[in-house]
Amino acid sequence: MTGDGVNDAPSLKAADVGIAMGLAGSDVAKSAADIVLTDDNFASIVNAIEEGRRMFENIQKFILHLLTSNVGEVVLLIVGLGFQDRSGVSVFPLSPLEILWINMLTSSFPAFGLGREKASATVMHRPPHDTKKGVFTWQIITDMIIYGVIMGACTLLTFVIIIYGVGNGVDSLGHDCNRIASDSCDVVFRARATVFAELTWLILISAWEFKHLRNSMFNLDPQRDRTGERFASFPFLCDVWENKFLFWAVVIGFVSVFPAVYIPGLNTKVFKHSGITWEWGLAFGSIFVFVLAVEAWKMVKRRTGWFAEGEDYGGAANLGLRRRWPSHELGLRQGFFTFARTLTKASERSIGRESEMSSVAGKEANGGRKRSTNVHISAPRRVEEGV
């Protein structure tokens, strides 16, 4: 509900979102409204809605990234309690400091980068969110569980391959490898270093995957015209470079694994792992498996339409109806949003010039005499629309 006069105050107060005019509005209307439109431009309402939806989307991506990594760690560590040495002590697949490193350094900065994502191309083609659902939609919860289980399974399988496939099983678990470094812990330390590198990289790659919850990471905006863009032939490079904070957070986090694994003293005494050689192949291979699994799940969601409720207005995104005069598929609300975007200051000045020309023409038609009564056609005083 929008309004500017004293008589609009009750409606502004009762509306879900009351918007008062900042320049022409009365003090009573401003005090009753939830939002004050400082420039009295209806297009600003649409911009505000778009920014709000962008923030809502980014909060979901932020939460999904952090909770997915937590689910992966829980799967790895809970199941990892079953790896016990000859004395019956559980051997952790990750040391406590490795877990802190991943949670504080690896996950944090990519999550901040997701919070800086721009609005998606279809953000204004979607109906309003249900205020009762919040950010934890069924899609977020399902994605969090599926991606987290995949992440935990990949790292757990890597640990099992090194301990039981290459090593001697229980004999390779050493003695008291959670606290001290000894020759008997060599295989455990190598397995930990591999799991540490692998989990770090999977969390970093997942940040790029979560830039869009349904579209492929390799083509986040299929309908985008990339003519003249840098790396136009490679949509993936264009999309990841667009958010430079996220790009460098992933790259620096990827590179930081190597000094953590190879610096003497820091690796064995602090992180309780050691340098690795052929095990890097397992870490890189897990990236391929993880990306393949995530892309497969996204494709299933696109093909089946699961969790697609509220994604767009009647397929408007697929029809390419972006910021144009809407067809019947878009509905009245989307029509108002699109129409409001056309109400720029330039168009207002154009209307003003046409009014002046009309007044001059009327004066000439009246024999040069000034009319006693001026006829002025003004725009509607207020526009009501449920946002």
Q: Is residue 2 located within the same domain as residue 51?
A: no
Q: Is residue 91 located within the same domain as residue 218?
A: yes
Q: Is residue 299 located within the same domain as residue 372?
A: no
Is residue 178 pLDDT above 80, yes or no?
A: yes
pLDDT bin (cut points 50, 70, 90) of residue 310 is: low
Single-letter code of the amino acid located at 65: H
Q: What is the mean pLDDT of residues 186-198?
A: 97
Q: Is residue 187 located within the same domain as residue 91?
A: yes
Neighbouring residues of 269: CB distance < 8 A, sequence distance ≥ 6: 181
Which domain does 371 fall in, by range? 1-41+357-387
Q: What is the pLDDT of residue 382?
A: 45
Q: Is residue 109 located within the same domain as residue 204?
A: yes
Q: Is residue 116 part of a domain?
A: yes
Q: Which of 121, 143, 172 minimizes the C-alpha distance to 319?
A: 121
Q: Is residue 180 located within the same domain as residue 53?
A: yes
What is the Cα–Cα distance from 302 to 308, expressed in whole angstroms?
8
> Which neighbouring-strand residues pair with 3?
20
Q: Is residue 34 located within the same domain as residue 167?
A: no
Query: Environment class of residue 268 by beta-carbon count within 10 Å: exposed (0-12), middle (13-18) or buried (19+)?
Result: middle
CATH number for position 256: 1.20.1110.10
Domain end, chosen from 311, 341, 366, is at 311
pLDDT bin (cut points 50, 70, 90) of residue 351 is: very low
Q: What is the pLDDT of residue 20?
A: 94
Q: Is residue 113 located within the same domain as residue 140?
A: yes
- Domain total in the chain: 2
Is residue 239 pLDDT above 70, yes or no?
A: yes
State pTM to two decimals: 0.78
**Cβ distance 268 to 185 under 8 Å?**
no
Q: What is the mean pLDDT of residues 245-265?
A: 96
Q: Is residue 28 located within the same domain as residue 53?
A: no
Q: Is residue 104 located within the same domain as residue 190?
A: yes
